[in-house]
Structure formats: C-alpha cells, structure tokens
Chain A
Amino acid sequence: MFKDLDPILHSQLRLAVMSLLISVKEAEFTFLKEKTNATAGNLSVQIQKLKEAGYIEVIKQFKDNYPQTICKITTPGIIAFEDYVKNLQVYLTQPK
C-alpha cells in the first residue's frame, strides 16, 4: 500500500535542508545556503515553512554584532523525515 509522501518534505529545497539538518546537531543559515546553493530569500521562505510544520527550530541571535540564524531539527522533524524515507523505500522496492 502506497502512502502519500509528506508534501512538506517532498520539495527539493526543503528536503535538502532537512537532509542537512538530520546529519548535524545544528547549523547556521549561511551553512545551509552554502550547501544548497539557494538564494537567501528562497531559503528563508522554505525554512519558515519547515518551522511552521514544527519540523525545525529556528534560533535568531547576535554573534559579534551581526544577526545569526541557527536551525535545528526537532523530534517531530526527525520522525517525519524517517517516515518520508521509509515511504520512499516502499515506492522504490514495490512494483507500481
């Protein structure tokens, strides 16, 4: 039985962000931008969507007088990501 893939995660940039965050404890916005090659505006919008879904936590602070944004994956985010990967595996292993 095919389950629908999570629409929040089934988008290129959001999935890329979640894949990066699942591998680390926390990452700066600049790190995510550098690794995904996305524009700052685009990335901000997608991060906001992930935050609204409760998949990531966004911490805004100052570092050496410059604003700094740190992103962390949350427990619901980890569960959603794991479910997404499981469902992907089902799609890939079973004949359609």
Chain B
Amino acid sequence: MEQEKKLTEQESLHLITMMINKAKESYHDTGIGAIMWGAVIAICSLVRLSEVQFGYKLPFDIYLLTLVAIIPQIFISIKEKKERKVKSYDDAYLDYIWLGFGISIFLLIQITNNIFGEWGSWANEYKNVTGKSASFRFSEYVAPLFLMLYGLPTFITGAACKFKPMLWGGIFCWVCCIIAIYTSIKIDLLLTAASAVLAWLVPGVIMEKEYRIYKKEQAQLNV
C-alpha cells in the first residue's frame, strides 16, 4: 500500500469499509476451551446419571472434575492471549462475562449445597412425624438453575461474535431449562449433557476447524 496516494472520496469510503471488515474478520478463537468445557460437563452429567441409574457411587464427587479443568483453562487463556495480535472491545466484555459466569456457578453450588443440608434435615423430620417421604424433592430443581446460567454467557457470546452455533446453543440451554423443571433427575442429567455438547462442544469443534483454516491461510499468505 502506497503511503501518500491521494484518494477520491469514493476510494476513501471503500478503503474504510474494507479495513473495518478486515478488522472484524481478524478474531478467531481456537475453540479449545469450549471443547474442553463441553466435554467435561457432559462427562460429569453422564457419570452422575450412571450413578443414579445403576445405584453405585464413585469414591469422589465427579463434579470435582470441573475444578480440575480450571487449571488447563488458565493455560489455554494465557496462550490464546499471547498469540492474539489484536484486542477487540468485545474481548474485554466477554472475558468479564465468562468470569462472572464462573463466579455465579460457584455461588450457585454453595447455595444449592446449603439448601440440600437444610432440606435433608427437614425431610427426615417430616418422615419421622408423618411416616411418609416428602413429595417435594429439591434435587429435581437443581439442573434447571444451572441450565439457566449455562445459557446466558453462551447466548451473549454467540450474539456478540455473530457465531450462530453458540447463539443457538445458548437458546438450547434455556429450552432444556424449561423442560428440566418438569422432568425427573435422570432426564435432567441427560438434558444437561446434551446442553453441554450443543452449547460448547459442537461450537468449539466448529471454531477449532475454522481456526485451523484461518491459520493455514495466514501461513500461505506469509510464504
């Protein structure tokens, strides 16, 4: 590009539009984080489902896997930030949204654990007095709460990045949230696994594929 070439008004406008579009196309997520979280949540839900279905219990809580997954996520985030040559305004907001999501999930776990503790003693007392089990089971309503939260950052990310698989993934989480209110815990777990696959794993695989194509194109341009 020549530095001092004088432009006509039409050429200027065309150049501005072209460069703005080039800047927009420059952001490519590797998709690794989405793939990992989609797989982790799906595995946790399916293992818990098998525990409920076949009546066994692992010596540890399978959901601890989500805590372990935070370590590779930190490395993935650092690596992606280092490789990024450009920082968009959306990046900063989306980072905060996903951080807020992580904090909200942590708080929701604390809240539900607390309710389980209180509810358990109340249900036992009810059984002792009436001789019947309580018809209300709080555990049936835990999955919808999580699914509601899963949908929010996924939907926002999909809309902000104009990435339809994630946008629809977020909507799918909310649809599953509504269904899970009326279904048994086994179906709830299946819906959670399906949401994780459709909201994160599948979009992650698509992102990773697009990223590889982008990298290949860049490598060819630089030859």
Which residues in A have some Cβ–Cβ distance to B below 8 Å?
Answer: 5, 10-16, 19-20, 22-28, 30-31, 34-38, 42, 45-46, 63-64, 85, 88, 91-92
In Å, the complex CA distance between A87 and B156 comes to 35
Q: Check if B88 sits within 8 Å of A11, measured CB to CB.
A: no
Which B residue sits closest to A29, measured CB to CB? B85
Q: Give the dominant DSSP class at B's interface.
A: helix
With an 8 A cutoff between CB atoms, is B12 at the interface?
A: yes
For the complex of A and B, 6 pairs with smallest distance between CB atoms: A19-B19, A23-B23, A31-B85, A28-B85, A27-B86, A13-B3
Q: Check if A88 sits within 8 Å of B88, measured CB to CB.
A: no
Contact for A42 among B3, B22, B82, CB less than 8 A = B3
B26 neighbours in A (Cβ, 8 Å):
24, 31, 35
What is the minimal beta-carbon distance from A62 to any residue of chain B, in angstroms?
13
Q: Give the dominant DSSP class at A's interface.
A: helix
In Å, the complex CA distance between A34 and B26 comes to 11
With an 8 A cutoff between CB atoms, is B103 at the interface?
A: no
Which B residue sits closest to A30, measured CB to CB? B85
Q: 4 more A-B contacts (CB under 8 A) besides A13-B3, A34-B221? A: A14-B3, A16-B19, A23-B24, A34-B85
Q: Check if B23 sits within 8 Å of A20, measured CB to CB.
A: yes
A10 neighbours in B (Cβ, 8 Å):
6-7, 12
Contact for A92 among B13, B24, B82, B85, CB less than 8 A = B13
Q: Could you list some 22 contacts between A and B, CB below 8 A?
A: A11-B4, A12-B1, A12-B2, A12-B4, A15-B15, A16-B15, A19-B20, A19-B23, A20-B19, A20-B20, A24-B26, A25-B88, A27-B85, A31-B26, A31-B86, A34-B85, A35-B19, A35-B22, A42-B1, A63-B82, A88-B13, A92-B13
